[in-house]
Structure 1
Amino acid sequence: MKIMFQISLFWLAVAMVHPIVAQTNSQNEPQNYVVLTKKVEQLTPILLSAEALKKEDGAHFGAFKVIICGKNIGDVTDLSKMEPHLEKASKLGVELIACGFSLKKFKVDADKVPEELSTVDNGILYNLQMQKMGYKSLGL
């Protein structure tokens, strides 16, 4: 009986400590973010948010990806709109990504997409895949 009590007490202690250990481990992992947006104009507040999170997270700031998709995807080819965002994203280490599905659907010449942007076949699928990998996600 005494052994059963000790075993029960041991498992109770493990159950109480496990959430604390799990929380501590998650605080030491990099914080990764992905944002899905439909408008180039939204890059300004998105990049400001990335900058604030980079300061807040410090050494735990991981990847920050922004996927641009939707009917306004053609705006990514307009350098007058994109240039300030490209510079800021580069400075912050933010990856800008164009949705290939949107480029095709809205007949945007992929060759005119600035080389600073990468392209994925399907931005929505890519966003979901990043979430499966533990990225914190926001859709605008």
Structure 2
Amino acid sequence: MKTYIFSSVILMLTLFSTANIQAQQIDNTKNNYVVLTKKVPQLQPIILTAESLKAEEGDAFGDFQVIICGKEIGEIIDADKINDFITKAEKAGVKIIACGFSLNKFKVDKTKVPKEIEVVENGILYNFQLQKIGYKSISL
């Protein structure tokens, strides 16, 4: 009886451990990128870089995200400054992310953030989380 219980426990632990490992595996067939920036105008060269990498890598090109943090985050609610970048980013397959911590610190109304821009709680933490799963990262 002890052997049966012990074997059952070992089997259960093995199954749950294997499921967890599979969920954390990285897809090395795609190149994923994340850029952390403090200035909205830097979106122009970042998007151009994404377009070049996509053309160069073809099917190996994966996900490309840009996280905006810092004191100039308020520019993302200025339609004149952000709308052109949103359009270019969508065409290039670039996802724009806003740091919720920065939005709070610099008192930017989250309800005015364009719907195309995702807000994460902490942009720096989000960047590290992406790096942990294999994203190539640069900060500007």
- Asked if TM exceeds 0.5, the reply is yes
Aligned residues: 115
Higher Cα radius of gyration: 1
What does residue 68 of structure 2 align with?
68
After superposition, give the CA deviation of every residue in 1:80-107 in whole Å (9 maximum; x if it has no partner): 0111110011111110000000000000
Per the normalisation by structure 2, the TM-score is 0.80
For 1:19-69, what per-residue CA distance to the aligned partner results, in whole angstroms no more than 9, with x for missing partners? xxxxxxx9x610000000000010000000000000011011100000000
Write the letter of the residue equivalent to 2:126: Y
How far the C-alpha of 1:129 sits from its partner, in A, is 0.4
The separation in 2 between residues aligned to 1:45 and 1:93, in whole angstroms, is: 14
Structure 2 gap ranges (5+): 1-25
Matched, 1:44 2:44: yes
Q: Which runs of 4+ in 1 moved over 3 A?
A: none
| Secondary structure in 2 matching 1:72 | helix
Q: Shift in Å at residue 122 of structure 1?
A: 0.2
Q: Which residue identity does 1:114 align to in structure 2?
A: P
TM-score, normalised via structure 1 length: 0.80
Percent of pairs identical after alignment?
A: 61
CA–CA separation in structure 2 for the residues paired with 1:33 and 1:43: 14
How do residues 23-102 of structure 1 correspond to structure 2 at under 5 angstroms?
29-102=29-102
Is 2:133 the partner of 1:133? Answer: yes
